[in-house]
Structure 1
Amino acid sequence: MPEHPLTIAVDGPSGSGKSSVSKAVARELGLGYLDTGAMYRALTWWVLDEGIDPTDQAKVADASRSLPLEIATDPTGPVTVTVNGTDITEAIRETWISSQVSAVATNLDVRAELRRRQRELIDQLRADRGGVVAEGRDITTVVAPDAEHRILVTASEEARLARRSTELHGTAGAEQIEATRDQISRRDRDDATVSAFFEPAEGVVGLDTSDLSFEQVVQAVLDLVRGEVAPQTPEQSDPSKEDR
């Protein structure tokens, strides 16, 4: 456990590798791990299970405040997600959730409630485990702007599509990539209306992972946290250079 509590905030677009990398970094450093995206997916599952229209902002916001959510934060084990006693860890990654989650995640009242919960979990993990690696869309700028380390993980659209296609379909062939493209592009486009995760904000380190292996990205984040390498400047990691 670190001598002083440590929060590492990691943001990034879909397929940038932020979730798997953040979990590996948390495991290496002995910190807690918080997947904030899973919280939005869990609420989407809850809303649909309750028969609520995801576009009904008032009802969805009410549901967010009563969501009986439990999410595992130990990076050495599976990140299980349970709602009202039902394990929905696998269900929230299915296409029927992915196609609806943006309607929930762009609800500003929902974001306010889940950010409150996320901050509580971060504080709890700082106290209980000495720190946390929290990842999502607006962790570096809104949820934990005072984190000791703030990193925006980016990658070219080509690299992100290949990674997510392999994750979902087991391969990154042309057919699989096209089947994934709409899901990735639509989710990023919708979420970008309420949070910024393509360009690092002031004080946030940009890390372009397009040409890095998983192990290299994990090591790069660890090096940044340990101060062993010079961070990229926003100009060096400018996502506007991506082929979107």
Structure 2
Amino acid sequence: MPGPTDRPSDRPATDAPSPVVVAVDGTSGSGKSSTSRAVASRLGLRYLDTGAQFRAMTWWMLQHGVDVHDADAVASHAGTPVIESGTDPADPTITVDGEDASVAIRTTEVTGAVSPVSTVAEVRTRLLGLQREIIGAGDGVGIVVEGRDIGSVVWPTAEVKLYLSADASARAQRRTAEHAHLGDVTSTQAQLLERDTIDSGRVTAPLVQADGALAVDTTHLTLDEVVDLVVGLVEEHS
């Protein structure tokens, strides 16, 4: 599979255009998921939520009694769980060892534990390989990928790169609304800001605005406005 850093001379000669990769990075609650899924649906592209993969890894650690604050323990188990991500934007499934984990990974317990797990280099390396494999697959169908290091680390040659942000109050309201169906899930501004600090300060693949990424503050934009913007960028590239 061609990787994001392969030189042109390493790739087979072809006149066919490469499938577009849209990298959507940004802070929690900035609208990455809603935007990415809507863009993928409108353009007939695949969709990948890399954050769900880190949550799935975290959920597995909790289920198996691994201390998520013990980096060595997390690292030693990072290669064990079998994590599979569906790429249909209408039904983006996530399974762990064959078990549907789409609801379980959104609980308060997982939300509170995902940051320390995500900082472990072995976890990021394991999931980086999985993410690149999924992006490179698809039989010529492009993909919208959301996360925190897609444009900077996972696929730096993405044709379209965005960095979404919003003020903490708006993000907290959105995240709480997204998870309202789970009953006990809420996101306070303090929790989101703490997650921002951890993600931005980690040594491995920190949350940053990638080179060439368009910064979009979604605080005062509707979802349709953001989606229209991204779709326009993809169509311009095509």
Equivalent in 23, 34, 42 of residue 9 of structure 1? 23
Pick the aligned partner of 1:29 from 15, 36, 43: 43
Which digits, 9 at most, give the CA deviation of each residue in 1:101-131, with x for residues without a partner?
Answer: 1110011221111111111111113xx2521
Which one-letter code corresponds to 1:185 in the other structure?
Answer: L
Per-residue deviation, residues 201-235 of structure 1 (Å, max 9, x unmatched): 3311111211111111111111122229xxxxxxx
The within-5 A match list for 1:59-138 is 59-76=73-90, 78-125=91-138, 128-138=139-149
After the TM superposition, which residues 1-244 of structure 1 pair with which residues of structure 2 at under 5 Å, given as runs?
3-76=17-90, 78-125=91-138, 128-169=139-180, 180-194=188-202, 195-197=205-207, 200-227=209-236
Query: 2:18·2:140 contact (CA, 8 Å) conserved in 1?
Result: no
Q: Is the 8 A contact 1:140 1:204 kept in 2?
A: yes
Output one character per residue of 1:133-162: Cα deviation in whole Å (capped at 9) or x when no partner.
111000010001011111111112222122
Deviation of 1:3 after TM superposition, in Å, equals: 5.0
CA RMSD after TM alignment: 2.0
Query: Which amino acid in the other structure matches residue 182 of structure 1?
Result: A
Contact 1:64 1:114 in 2 (8 A): no
Task: Give the aligned residue type for 2:197.
Answer: R
TM-score by length of 1: 0.82
Structure 1 gaps, min length 5? 171-175, 229-244
Alignment identity in percent?
43
| Worse-superposed segment, 41-50 or 161-170 | 161-170
Secondary structure class of the residue paired with 2:66: coil
**Aligned positions, number:** 217
TM-score normalized by structure 2? 0.84
